[in-house]
Chain A
Amino acid sequence: MQNSDKLIIETNHLSFGFSKDKIVLQDINLQIPRGSIYGFLGPNGAGKTTTIRLLLNLLKPDHGSITVLGESVRNASVNLFSRIGALIETPSLYEHLTGFDNLQVTAGIRNIPKSRVLEVLEILQLSRDADKHVKNYSLGMKQRIGLALALLSSPDLLILDEPTNGLDPNGIIEIRELLLHLNRDRGVTILVSSHLLSEIEKLVTHIGILDQGKMVFQGSLKHLQAIRQEQSVIEISTDRNNVAMEVLLNNKLVAKIGKEFLEVQYLDQFQVSAIIGLLTKAGVAIYRMQLIESSLEQTFLSFINKN
């Protein structure tokens, strides 16, 4: 359990259902450290958007509590939301207005000067298209305007629900660079949801995996990488697998006989030469040896499939 002071978002035993028969979230205990980039992962329909709507007080939980920036969301003051920037699902844009007017609407409500609107347009490389009607924007430009809306108030916390939806690879890289910059240089804590780990694994410091309304993993990226390593194996084929197995077990290696090969749990690169040495010394002929690494994506999927 993390120290509560260091958490920017914390939920305790959060549950929610749209009706008694349709439970969407069960016992969610989110812990998002200050200064982190928290990747909120899960397949479509896992409950990510519902959780985000609960964090933003758009829905009321059935059970449990939510604390954001040290304030209970249920009794939150209006000021709390001046410190949060959010992009929920597709950006909410007035298509009959220009990009500039769209930002001006939010800026007006937040009492933000026009100079900041122009600055945000510049950051998101939208200055040239600011006077075009949003209905003429590409999907990527709309997504960037949505991000611009979230960034207007220079928030302490950014909550982004699938922000790279509809973006091409270049767009995804640009957004990633921008978010990394905001986190690193301005100390913005970011919660970013996605259904694809590959999209955000280069961005996040922490990960929470949600499946069918339950948290199946929560921790740092390093923790997930350690789990991935645990799932990596060295496959070995020899002339005498039984003898080889005995040698490996006698040397306290975690090994088992798989469908075709011997499987040894991979620890580090030095292990490979050590195994070759042990088996050669025991007179076992090695025909094949291969490191089968589990990707983060497979690790992520293994959590979901397990659930």
Chain B
Amino acid sequence: MNLLDIELIKLKNTFALWLTFVGALFLPLLLFTTYLFESQEFLPAPRINPWYDYLLRTFNGCCFFSLGFILLIIGLILNIEHKANSWKQLFTLPVRRGRLYRAKTTLIFSVITVFFLLYFVFAITSGQLLGLIKPSLGFRQYRVPYDYIFRFLLDLFVSIIPMIIIQYWISFRMRNLITSLGMGLFGLLMGLLLKNWDHIIYLPYATPFQMLNYKETDVLNRQHFYLVNAGYSLLFIVLSYKDFTKRFQG
């Protein structure tokens, strides 16, 4: 059996799995109800595609709220092993530690990808529904700018990869979910406080906040941004992999 399939078995009946769905639904539902009951506030100007304004709110919500959910999802996934005290059992099985590390990493990235996909599926569906219920909002008259969404998702994902790896590292090291989650939230808080710092791009937990008020023609220094995040991702993967395979005792 594939190690990822085994990880999926472990995910059955867990809060992590529920959170992936409920967390993804949370903000789109909030936006939906706000647009529905305060529709006068959101009426678009003539010949303006309302999707851009709607999506910008969705993106900003994603930057603020989804990161907390992601930290919690990572913590809960690793907590499955801590709670069962199963690291020692896994390490006595005929499987290399490197494969266990890769399987868990793949699971985490898969769950986060599903989370974002669901988030945008729910957001777009909610926009379409709003268009049906309140035609004056204009959602049915304009096409959804998928390329805008795709570009945001790509940038956001690149910006959070180092944070995900660090949080994964902290979460397998810390048996206590509250401690690992607290450390992650502290990182996010620092990122938010230092949001306007010149060198903020070098603080992994702060990079997602660079995506706030994301414009299609954003002036992010993309090459530098990708390079820094690729460098960080590689560094943290190598360090956490070495720690997991050589030093971690479960």
B250–A81 CB distance below 8 A: no
Contact of B93 among A90, A96, A110 (CB under 8 A): A110
Known contacts A92-B85, A105-B9; A86/B14 CB under 8 A: no
Partner-B contacts on A (CB < 8 A): 53, 56-59, 78-82, 84, 86, 88-97, 101, 104-111, 133, 149
Contacts of A84 in B (CB 8 A): 92
Question: Is chain A's binding surface mostly helix, strand, loop or mixed?
Answer: mixed
Partner-A contacts on B (CB < 8 A): 1, 3, 5-6, 9-10, 12-14, 80, 83-96, 249-250
Contacts of B88 in A (CB 8 A): 53, 56, 58, 88, 92
In whole Å, how far is B185's beta carbon from the nearest beta carbon of chain A?
A: 25
Report the Cα distance A58→B250, complex, angstroms.
8
B92–A58 CB distance below 8 A: yes
Q: Can you list 30 A-B pairs, Cβ within 8 angstroms, ordered by A? A: A53-B88, A56-B88, A57-B91, A57-B92, A58-B91, A58-B250, A78-B95, A79-B94, A82-B94, A88-B89, A89-B85, A92-B87, A93-B86, A95-B83, A96-B12, A101-B9, A101-B12, A104-B9, A105-B6, A105-B9, A105-B10, A106-B89, A106-B93, A107-B1, A108-B3, A109-B6, A109-B90, A109-B94, A109-B95, A133-B13
Report the Cα distance A2→B250, complex, angstroms.
34
Contacts of A88 in B (CB 8 A): 88-89, 92
Contacts of B12 in A (CB 8 A): 96-97, 101
Contacts of B95 in A (CB 8 A): 78, 109
Contact of A94 among B84, B249, B250 (CB under 8 A): B84
Contacts of A80 in B (CB 8 A): 94
Of all chain B residues, the one with the shortest Cβ separation from A76 is: B94
Contacts of B93 in A (CB 8 A): 81, 106, 109-110
In whole Å, how far is A103's beta carbon from the nearest beta carbon of chain B?
A: 11
B10–A108 CB distance below 8 A: no
